[in-house]
Structure 1
């Protein structure tokens, strides 16, 4: 297994330690030093009353993808410092995919953007766009 495979395996191990991610059924499907992709099967309990994904579910997926891409870019433990999300259409479908890419990184933080797609009948439709600042974790104090 190469370095990118090691990074993906490490990322999957971290995801498995996140109880909320496990509860939702999130899957880390790609991780490189600049990009991350998370997917989530869109089960009925994750939908709101109109049948599309609850905004909190879409937001969770964007937040986690942003953090993975930023953490991989900085090669360090990180947390989300802030992020903004724009919902551009209802997330209808069987699966959500979040693709994040680091656009700028320094020693202490990275700026990352993310597109979230809903997949229905094999077709991806953009449903949200997010951007965030990912911060290196400091020493516990």
Structure 2
């Protein structure tokens, strides 16, 4: 599948995720083994200290990891585990999650992701994540 079709398919799947739509998540790039997901920072995703809520930062990492893994395994995938380290509060206008598959087998991909916050055009690292993405088993059409 060429990158344009891959990106279109990825965007179609993102549009089926109500939470992604609610927070305005945008799939900016998708290529085999690579993903860039962006989220505009609005008041509705901030916590009480004015930072982007850690759950939203975690969401960005998880979804980007899954897209990076799914781009090499196929779109029927789930995250089986991931870990995140927050390195700075996310204060800015936009979150940018960039993920890549560092290993891809037949049914599993290990991916890493850097999450940046953009403030006045400058990107600052706010989190680092790593996760394992697994291919879902084929569905039995008789059930």
Instruction: Compute the TM-score of the two structures, normalised by the length of structure 1.
Output: 0.96
Give the equivalent residue in structure 2 for 1:27: 26
Corresponding position of 1:74: 73
The residue matched to 1:92 in structure 2 has which SS? coil
Decide whether the 8 Å contact of 2:24 with 2:40 is kept in 1. Answer: yes
Residue of structure 1 in register with 2:110 after alignment: 111
Distance in structure 1 (CA, Å) of the matches to 2:89 and 2:139: 40
Within a 5 Å distance, the mapping from 1:59-138 to structure 2 comes to 59-138=58-137
Runs of 4+ in 1 over 6 A off after TM superposition: none
Gaps of 5+ in 1: none
Q: Deviations over 1:26-74 (max 9, x none)?
A: 0000000010000000100100111110000000000000000000011
Aligned to 1:7: 6
Q: What secondary structure does 1:100 align onto?
A: strand
Structure 1 residue 77: deviation in Å? Answer: 1.2
> Any gaps of 5 or more consecutive residues in structure 2?
none
Alignment partner of 1:72: what SS? helix
- CA RMSD, aligned part only? 1.2
Q: Tell me, in whole angstroms, the C-alpha distance in 2 between the residues paired with 1:133 and 1:22.
A: 24
In 1, Cα distance between equivalents of 2:90 and 2:75: 32
Shift of 1:139: 3.2
In structure 2, what is the Cα distance between the partners aligned to 1:91 and 1:83? 20
Q: Residue 56 of structure 1 aligns to a residue in which SS?
A: helix
Counting matched residue pairs gives 140
